[in-house]
Amino acid sequence: MADIKKVAVLGSGVMGSGIAALIANAGLPVLLLDIVPEGAKDRNVIAKGAIDKQLKAKPAGGFTHKQNAKLVTPGNLEDDLEKLAEVDWIVEVVLEKLEVKHSVYQKIAPHMKKDAVLSTNTSTIPLAELEKGLPKELAPRFLLTHFFNPPRFLPLLEVTGGTECDPAIVEQMSAFADKYLGKGVVRCKDTPGFIGNRIGVFWLMQGLLKAIELGISVEDADAVMSRPVGIPKTGVFGLFDLIGIDLMPHIAKSMLATLPKDDRFCTMYREPELVTNMIADGYTGRKGKGGFYRLNTEGGKKVKEAKDLKTGDYAPAQSSTLKSVNAARAGLAALVSYPDIGGQYAKAVLVETLHYAASLVPEISDDILGIDEAMRLGYNWKYGPFELIDRLSTKDAAGADLLAAACQEAGLDVPPLLAKAAGKTFYKQDGAERYYLTTDGEYAPMDIKEGCWYLADKTRGAKPVKKNGSATLWDLGDGILGFELTSKGNTFDPDIMALLNKTHDLMKEDFRGLVIGHDGQHFSFGANLAFFMYISNMAAWKQLSGVIREGQDTFMGLKYAPFPVVVSLAGMAMGGGCEICLHADAVQAHIESYPGLVEAGVGVIPGWGGCKEMLYRHRDLADRVKAQVMAGQKPEALMPQGPMPYVSKAFEYIGTAKVASSAQEAQEMLILNHRSRITMNRARVLADAKELCLSLADGYTPPEPTTIHLPGGGGRAALEMAVENFASQGKATPHDVVIGKHLAYVLSGGEADMLDELTEQDILDLEHDVFLELVKHPASQARLEHMLETNKPLRN
């Protein structure tokens, strides 16, 4: 197998075009082919339309940056087959019909490179059936690569080789998908539904059938079968609506046709009349007229409604008041033992689902690790089935024993694996080592893949270097100190600033680089707004001034520290979370990172150096591009336009509270600097951040302070005019105008003249003064209060 440098995707439906976009996001050229519609003037119209849909999809399409779409070349399966000779990997994502797939394999085989790999994304057809129509020469290079939709956001990739596939190719493809496509690769077996859908579809059907049987409402069922269990807030019925209610009978039909008749899926499955009628009437979920939920817009109002599972009628959706949902805070055992209908529903669904999962090892996976990983990565469960069984444990009994008893009570057999787990947990920890229960009832160590670890893997059983109520310092090895944010929402408060400042002394003694990061979904939601609001309500302006100064000094201390600072970034990085990225030497960012200076949305401006850093970064880029053009070199970006381009860019991004839609856009916005790197796989970000920090540590010297010229009063007037123009068009509220003019004052240099050289401290002083002035404004305080109460910005 050759290195993968170019890929072809056959089939440009939602999944095919999503896979093509994902591969383009990794920087690889993609050939996207589909059929030629009868009578079409443009023979590539289907593939072109698919690319366009991925670009325009809201809230986020498959491309992490619009420029990536240029890497996808549309074509068709009649005129462009010869181009397949250029590709190293072909992903087949055509219609889920055996004869169609066989026909495509025969058609493409003569045009493939001798060492090119062919994989199928089938979700319903057994690999063994596909192999029967496969040209012989392709058998050693044929495997399953089953992506989950949407491919950009769901990291699971199920992989298994055909009966004649070279095991080395399966290994190479798995390694490629892990590192370059950011996938959590799980080795499955050639069984119906593989792992994720085999268990996930069973769980969904149990959720539906048990709800009808018990008479629980859609809203209550989703309130129970979501966060209390560690499952996304869509729950069961919200997920049905999201994926399409009409899709489930198709998947079930395939499962029923290929599973043994005594499989629990076959014996329990039935399609409720309610669902049959909904599909017939076009109520197929979000893509149709509605589903188990709908948004009723009659009378000009938007009212969320839920379907009554008995009558089929819609009524305004009600918030759940089940006591079992609150009881779940004490643990999963408390939820399933609670006597109300919510507890009964949770127990009924979980007993069936966890029993089914336990019965499928080793049929669908050699061990419990693959099943738990598949459900976490493919269905976004916080815990896999065997982790959930352990969470059923009480002080008196192991979860496995409680589940076995519940199975017998429900008339279900006790699976062999569950019997072997009697008196045990499926996972255990001994010091720094974690172990899992094997199919022979013994424990085996859980190996950590090289370069693929989370902070928990490095710190398990370890003692912190230092800690306080909001942060912890860890020894990451090789002289690198790890700084973990642990406050609520990973928000910045005085405790975090204090511990950041203490790192300087620690560095002198035992360390040579600092990595700031953690395992959470989002890096940081910025400053602790509740703390700021409390100080504001007390009118403790002197104390607030001190908090602003402390943040500025702390971040400046990191910027000019005699050691490298790298931020390990993933998810949201709002306000102060973005500002610390701007002061770091580099950021190692997961591709799905969303940083932004959003302070204007809560009525203020960045106060910890965000304005300063955006000015400097855009000024430095403008200077570099001009120098490159003058030297006849290819510029790294387009030549900045206008009399004060770097001020205009900073004003645009900060004034509109723009948040990057990906790490690639964050690069374009210069939130990530030229030393920063992007990692596709979330599980590799921290390891990559450590390696980046180590590379900077050798011979490290801190940056030299520089000054900057800003446009003064003339520039400020131009920016204020732009704000007024937005207001006249209805694009800015009255308080937006107030914030915009204050921001213009800072970015233009305050009272300074355009000939004056301003230091970083000069701009920090402006940020400080203007922040304090704005936070006292009643409209700003209203925005802060609204954000704290609703987690949504107020437009006033």
- In this predicted model, what pLDDT tens digit does every residue of 738-782 receive, in sequence order? 999 999 999 999 999 888 999 999 999 999 999 999 999 999 999
Rounded CA gap, 305 and 318, in Å?
Answer: 8
Residue where the block lists tokens 């959930």: 388
Indicate if the pLDDT at residue 635 is higher than 90: no
Give the H/E segment covering residue 258.
Answer: helix 247-258
Indicate if the pLDDT at residue 636 is higher than 90: no
- pLDDT of 626 reads 85
Rounded CA gap, 228 and 24, in Å?
Answer: 37
Residues contacting 758, CB < 8 A, separation 6+: 707, 708, 709, 710, 749, 752
- pLDDT of 341 reads 98
Please say whether the dihedral angle defined by the alpha carbons of residues 500, 502, 504 and 510, taken in this order, is positive or negative.
negative
Which 8-state DSSP code applies to residue 441? S
Residues contacting 609, CB < 8 A, separation 6+: 552, 555, 556, 579, 582, 583, 760, 764, 767
Residue (of 206, 196, 194) closest to 412 by Cα position: 206
Mean pLDDT over all residues of the chain?
Answer: 95
Kindly report, residue by residue over 652-699, the tens digit of the pLDDT: 999 999 999 999 999 999 999 999 999 999 999 999 999 999 999 999
- Per DSSP bridges, beta strands 471-475 and 466-467 are antiparallel
- At what angle are helices 399-409 and 341-359 packed, to 10 degrees? 100
| Cβ(579)–Cβ(652) below 8 Å | no
Average pLDDT over residues 575-579: 97
Tell me the residue length of the chain: 796
pLDDT band at 324 (very low <50, low <70, confident <90, very high): very high
- At what angle are helices 529-537 and 541-559 packed, to 10 degrees? 150
Q: Which amino acid is at 784?
A: L
Q: Which amino acid is at 523?
A: F
- Residue 109: exposed, middle, or buried by beta-carbon count in 10 A (0-12, 13-18, 19+)? middle
- pLDDT of 623 reads 86
Rounded CA gap, 651 and 746, in Å?
Answer: 10
- pLDDT of 640 reads 67
**Helix or strand or coil: residue 4?**
coil
Token pair for residue 718?
């131009």
Rounded CA gap, 694 and 515, in Å?
Answer: 10
Kindly report, residue by residue over 68-103, the tens digit of the pLDDT: 999 999 999 999 999 999 999 999 999 999 999 999
Kindly report, residue by residue over 12-36, the tens digit of the pLDDT: 999 999 999 999 999 999 999 999 9
Residues contacting 87, CB < 8 A, separation 6+: 6, 7, 8, 31, 113, 116
Whole-Å CA distances, 203 to 99, 258, 353, 373, 400: 31, 18, 6, 16, 19
Whole-Å CA distances, 178 to 83, 113, 612, 673, 681: 27, 24, 38, 25, 7
- pLDDT of 414 reads 97
- pLDDT of 647 reads 94
Instruction: Provide the greatest CA pair distance for the chain.
Output: 85
Q: Alpha helices of 410-540 — where are they, by DSSP H?
A: 416-420, 455-459, 494-509, 529-537
Rounded CA gap, 287 and 313, in Å?
Answer: 19
Rounded CA gap, 334 and 321, in Å?
Answer: 17
**Per-residue DSSP letters for 376-405?**
HHHH--SS-HHHHHHHT--SSS-HHHHHHH
Whole-Å CA distances, 532 to 549, 771, 786: 14, 12, 14
Q: Which residue has the higher pLDDT, 637 or 751?
A: 751
Distance of CA 184 to the CA centre of its chain: 13
Kindly report, residue by residue over 114-173, the tens digit of the pLDDT: 999 999 999 989 999 999 999 999 999 999 999 999 999 999 999 999 999 999 999 999
Token pair for residue 759?
């230091």
Rounded CA gap, 672 and 691, in Å?
Answer: 17
Whole-Å CA distances, 656 to 622, 669, 740: 21, 13, 9
Sheet bearing 72-76, strands edge to edge:
72-76, 30-34, 7-10, 89-92, 117-120, 142-147, 156-161, 184-187
Residue (of 10, 14, 11, 9) closest to 247 by Cα position: 14
